[in-house]
Structure 1
Amino acid sequence: MEEKKYKAVCFGEVLWDIFPGEKSRIGGAPFNVAYHLFKMGLEVEVISSVGDDELGHALLHKIKNWNISTDNIQVTKEHPTSTVIATVDENNDAHYDIVENVAWDFIETTPENKKVLGTADALVFGTLAARNDKSKNTLFQMLEISSYNVFDINLREPYYDIRIINELLHKTQLAKFNKAELRMVLDFLNKDYKDEKDSIRFLQDKFGIHEIIVSKGSKGALYAHEDQFYLYPTIPVEVKDTVGSGDSFLAGFLSKRLQKEGSAHDIMSQAISLGAFITSQEGACPEYTPEDFKHFKEKHPLSALSF
């Protein structure tokens, strides 16, 4: 009997990250998640848009060379392919200047992307793709079709609106925050921060979200599934850069979570391990094989922390 291949759809920005003194790299949080899900053996589709220009053609060519589907990446003559000017500070943290009115700000609703969502096990999206009304409206239509909506909050100033975040959280089954984003959203909602458990329970009750992830940097990550809490440490590695580390963490998480058979330990071990593995390499989407990751994971076994 052939093993079921799980499918995830990633909605939003696909772009070129331009780093000083380096070649451009393909980026965009939804695409980064898709890349690592594909590496983990899932079927992936990316709903996005690029310009009918040299950068857009080069981007599609590279994605196809990775054997990732471009069937739902639209090509438009009306808007250019997205570029982001990225800088990295002394702590290896990346900062981005995100150009507006680019192709992925104007993603169309099509019969094709509706159809692909009908057969998907998850829809992954973030806040940035909702900065323009066109893509925002398309996203909300997609959320009504998908049965498992994964919201990677991923706040990028000044491209977010608490009213939209509020609406998106109401349509979310799994939400991922980092520590700063959790505090920011609580502030937006006029909720005093007491501790992580209290904060998570508040969000679960307010929005009906059963699953919440909080990534805590060097202190690991916390996963809440209904009233169960699981805290895992990070894996110490030599950091090459942190670009895409949260995206690879989420892809690792979903690659086990969507199987609906693994334990919380299996899910979190995969998430923490993939995030650390990518942080130890250059770029958000480095070349690697599943065997490379397997060897890394075997060398770094994880145990849960008390919480």
Structure 2
Amino acid sequence: MEDKKYKAVCFGEVLWDIFPGEQRRIGGAPFNVAYHLFKMGLDVEMISSVGDDDLGRELLNKIKNWQISTDHIQITEEYPTSTVIASVDENNDAHYEIVENVAWDFIETTQENQKVLSTADALIFGTLAARNEKSKNTLFQLLEISSYNVFDINLREPYYDIRIINELLHKTQLAKFNKAELRMVLDFLKKEYKDEKDSIRFLQDKFNIREIIVSKGSKGALYAHEDHFYLYPTIPVEVKDTVGSGDSFLAGFLSKRLQKESSAHEIMAQAVSLGAFITSQEGACPEYTLEEFLGFKGRNELEALSF
């Protein structure tokens, strides 16, 4: 990392994922991104909310033990800490039953979270935190302060509204989709497209978004920056589970992207490597050191694919 320490702010859900027959694990896509950004050496703040209950206190203590800031995680007496019933199918894909009317549905706008955005290099958010009017309004206020808005589409049925996605895309500088989400959004917009490049250019033009990432599963990941397209393969690993792999990919991407002098190759190599590294371990936020990750990355050299 260079001398300047970059600051990222993640907005939205922080929660307990409860898997059958296992201990609960801290989750929520924005928090997963925050965890891995912190591991990559960035200064990270999480804007969220937990209940004034045992689960909330346990969650905050665990985050503090990781030495990640909880300064902007609000505590409410009105709503419980979020829990999600998670399951993993035979393909190691995760599925979630997400409880409504929980603490992060009611994130307040404060002078403190507005101030932290004024000095941040990026704001990372998804669609789920906009399912409730309260948190949605807070998010839209913070988007006006942030200079680099990163929208991880992360669609979770039935908690999304194409009108809100449309509004959020208009306020986005970098958007991340998986293949299914890209097709869904294009279908929502009634866009017929010839190929992937055509669909990405349509979104870039319609929403004035310079940068788009598309994660393509076994076919790798694509980064579009204006008129330039970069496709990178996946790193073959023994998959432990896929929970949080997309979040770690995004964190790896941003950890290099925020360094202005990083090349597209450096950015994508970091993203693909961190995604694979986390997929080879159990859980979205496994314990590891930066040195362990860099060792893995060094053993898996990547070259771009033609696209």
Q: Does the 8 A contact of 1:114 with 1:142 survive in 2?
A: yes
Q: Deviation at 1:192? A: 1.3
Question: Matched residues in 2 for 1:284 and 1:5: separation?
Answer: 24
Equivalent positions of 1:218-229 (< 5 A) are 218-229=218-229
Structure 2: distance between partners of 1:43 and 1:249: 18
Say whether residues 1:247 and 2:247 are aligned partners. Answer: yes
Pairing 1:183–2:183 present: yes
Distance 1:60 1:4 in 2: 28
Structure 1 SS opposite 2:10? strand
Deviations 1:115-137 (A, max 9, x none): 00011000000000000000000
- Counting only pairs closer than 5 Å after superposition, residues 265-284 of structure 1 correspond to structure 2 as 265-284=265-284
In the alignment, which residue of structure 2 is the partner of 1:217?
Answer: 217
Cα distance in 1 for residues equivalent to 2:150 and 2:294 = 25
Matches within 5 A, 1:1-307: 3-307=3-307
SS in 2 for 1:197: helix
Q: Distance in 1 between matches of 2:10 and 2:282?
A: 23
What CA distance in whole angstroms lies between the structure 1 residues aligned with 2:207 and 2:82? 32
Check the 8 A contact 1:18/1:83 in 2, yes or no. Answer: yes
Deviation at 1:193, TM superposition (A): 3.3
Q: Secondary structure at the match of 1:49?
A: strand
Q: Give the distance between the partners of 2:115 and 2:58, measured in 1 at CA.
A: 27
SS of equivalent residue, structure 1 residue 261: coil
Q: Residues of 1 paired with 2:180 and 2:91: CA distance?
A: 16
Deviations 1:223-263 (A, max 9, x none): 00000000000000000000000000000000000011110
How many pairs are equivalent?
A: 306
AA paired with 2:98? I
8 Å contact 1:183–1:193 — kept in the other structure? no
Deviation at 1:3, TM superposition (A): 1.4
CA distance in 2, matches of 1:194, 1:51: 48
SS in 2 for 1:85: strand
Identity %: 87
Task: Give the residue type in structure 2 aligned to 1:171.
Answer: K
Give the letter aligned to residue 138 of structure 2. Answer: T
**Could you report, residue by residue, the CA deviation over 1:191-220 in whole angstroms, capped at 9, with x for unpaired residues?**
013211000000000000000000000000
Amino acid at match of 1:217: G
Q: Give, in whole Å, the separation in 2 of the partners of 1:142 and 1:29.
A: 18
| AA at the equivalent of 1:96 | Y
> CA separation in 2, counterparts of 1:231 and 1:168?
26
Cα RMSD for the two superposed structures: 0.6
* Alpha-carbon distance between aligned partners in 2 of 1:261 and 1:57, rounded to the nearest angstrom: 40
Offset at 1:140?
A: 0.1
**Normalized against structure 2, the TM-score is what?**
0.99
2: CA distance, partners of 1:3 / 1:200: 34
Post-superposition Cα deviations, 1:175-201, rounded to whole Å, max 9, x if no partner, equal 000000000000000001321100000
Give the Å deviation of 1:285: 0.1
Q: Name the CA distance, whole Å, in 1 between partners of 2:117 and 2:262.
A: 24
Runs of 4+ in 1 over 4 A off after TM superposition: none
| Corresponding letter in the other structure for 1:220 | G
User: Match of 1:35, SS?
Assistant: helix
Structure 2 residue identity aligned to 1:21:
G
Where in structure 1 are there 5+ consecutive unaligned residues? Answer: none
Residue segments in structure 2 that go unaligned for 5+ positions in a row: none
